[in-house]
Amino acid sequence: MAYLFTSESVSEGHPDKVADQISDALIDHFLAFDPTSKVACETLVTTGLVVLAGEVNTSTYLDVQTIARDVIKKIGYTKAEYMFEADSCGIISAIHEQSKDINQGVDRKSSDDFEAKANAQGAGDQGMMFGYATKETENYMPLALDLSHKILQELADVRRENTDIKYLRPDSKSQVTIEYSDDNQPQRIDTIVVSTQHDDFDADEAMLAKIKSDIINIVIPRVKAKLKPELQALFTDDILYHINPTGKFVIGGPHGDTGLTGRKIIVDTYGGKGAHGGGAFSGKDPSKVDRSAAYATRHIAKNLVAAGVCDEVLVQVSYAIGVAQPCGIFIDTNGTAKVSLSDGEIAKIVEKTFDMRPYAIEQRLKLRTPIYSETAAYGHMGRESKIVKKTFANAGQTAEIEVELFTWEKLDYVDKVKAAFGI
């Protein structure tokens, strides 16, 4: 019997994502001027106010107010009527030094030898992290989440173009429900939900009718046009649309709802497919395995599927705080394995192929570079790996750095995986 599966996304202007982006902008600036920085930075945003809190061990000083204001301005909160505006909001910093009790297990002194460093650097916390990949899409992501992200990215593009639709404000959410067949193949899109903040530009009934028409007739066709033909075919005339289903959505952003770092962890990962260990990503340097090991398990999962080991896979790794070697690696191929091995046997080979000590992950995925601002909206997974030049300015200093974004999305281990599995 056919079944339905749903995933959601939120835009860069959603209050929780505003908080994530500020936290990750701080991470990037710390790493740009001191790559050894240890940082855990949380952000709260509400009406006219930003609160920064967290722990830092670094040799650099940051103008955190300017960095936060630049992020808010880039997102689009630039008008006083939003009740949260880049130049006028208050910014309070309660960032302080990292606990030496935590740091002692993470930052042990060692020689410059790779093995010595890898064995010396323990995990920044205990916990379990998950990675997932599926052949369902070109980027090995669950389809419902991928479409949810694409709808909001297109909505943001339309907002910034300010041509076809002129009333859009930064805050928005999307949700896509897909009907699958018994053999787990997507058949059609059942429901699309879009809630977008907007100007108060007409009487309610006429205003809501125009917003609905514009989303269905302008935004959705732009999304569809960028997809492969087999995915375009899922957009039938029978889709049920809920566009701003509660009515007008003028009050939004941090004025409508307080935002906090780390509250959109399912949006950030796999949209409810697979599993999640519970740890947020944004605001954390890569010594925090909540972040680095989640990226590493995605890297493993994607390369396993791309190499033909399986069509779908969930990878779990777990750590003890201060200990370099993982407690264990778990693999679940959900019955899709293409090799004559149990999931436990696959896990043993994975363990030998991918070094999951925190220092090794940092080095393999180039995580001690300022690459995190780009992750903080529209998902940390399924993105394009590319090399870019970034410029950071702070307190009279400037740093221009070439970095590689989304390294965990690279298929650079496919040949090694094939060799390890005899494919």
Q: Would the pLDDT of 112 be above 80? A: no
CATH number of 15-109: 3.30.300.10
CATH topology agreement for domains 15-109 and 127-135+267-421: yes
Q: Is 164 annotated as a binding residue?
A: no
- The alpha carbon of 153 is separated from its chain's Cα centroid by a whole number of angstroms, namely 13
Q: Is 121 annotated as a binding residue?
A: no
Q: Is 351 annotated as a binding residue?
A: no
- What share of residues in the chain are helix, strand, coil (percent, to 5)? 35, 25, 40
- Determine whether the annotation assigns residue 14 to a binding site: yes
Question: Per the annotation, does 173 bind a ligand?
Answer: yes
The string of pLDDT tens digits covering residues 302-330 is: 999 999 999 999 999 999 999 999 999 99
Q: Quick one: fold of 127-135+267-421?
A: GMP Synthetase; Chain A, domain 3 (3.30.300)
Q: In the chain, what percentage of residues exceed pLDDT 70?
A: 96
| 171 annotated as belonging to a binding site for a ligand | yes
Domain definitions of the chain by residue range: 3-9+143-251, 15-109, 127-135+267-421
Q: Are strands 168-180 and 186-198 parallel, antiparallel or unpaired?
A: antiparallel
Task: Please state, in angstroms and as integers, the Cα–Cα distance from residue 406 to each residue in 3, 295, 299, 368, following that order.
Answer: 33, 9, 10, 13
What CA–CA distance (Å, rounded) separates 145 from 150?
A: 9
55 marked among binding-site residues? yes
**302 has binding-site annotation:** no
115 is in an annotated binding site: no
Say how far apart CA 118 and CA 110 lie, in whole Å: 9
Residue 248 is labelled as binding a ligand: yes
User: Quick one: pLDDT at residue 423?
Assistant: 92
Asked whether residue 284 is marked as a ligand-binding residue, the answer is yes
Reported as a single tens digit per residue, the pLDDT across 397-414 is: 899 999 999 999 999 999
Topology given in CATH for the domain delimited by 3-9+143-251: GMP Synthetase; Chain A, domain 3 (3.30.300)
Does the annotation list 109 as a binding residue? no
Is 263 known to sit in a ligand binding site? Answer: yes
Is 420 annotated as a binding-site member?
no
Kindly report the pTM of this predicted structure.
Answer: 0.96
The tens digit of pLDDT for each residue in 160-205 reads 999 989 999 999 999 999 999 999 999 999 999 999 999 999 999 9
Fill in the DSSP letter of residue 387.
E
Tell me the H-state helices in 121-190: 143-161
Using one digit for the tens of pLDDT, what is the confidence trace for 371-396?
Answer: 999 999 999 999 999 999 999 998 78
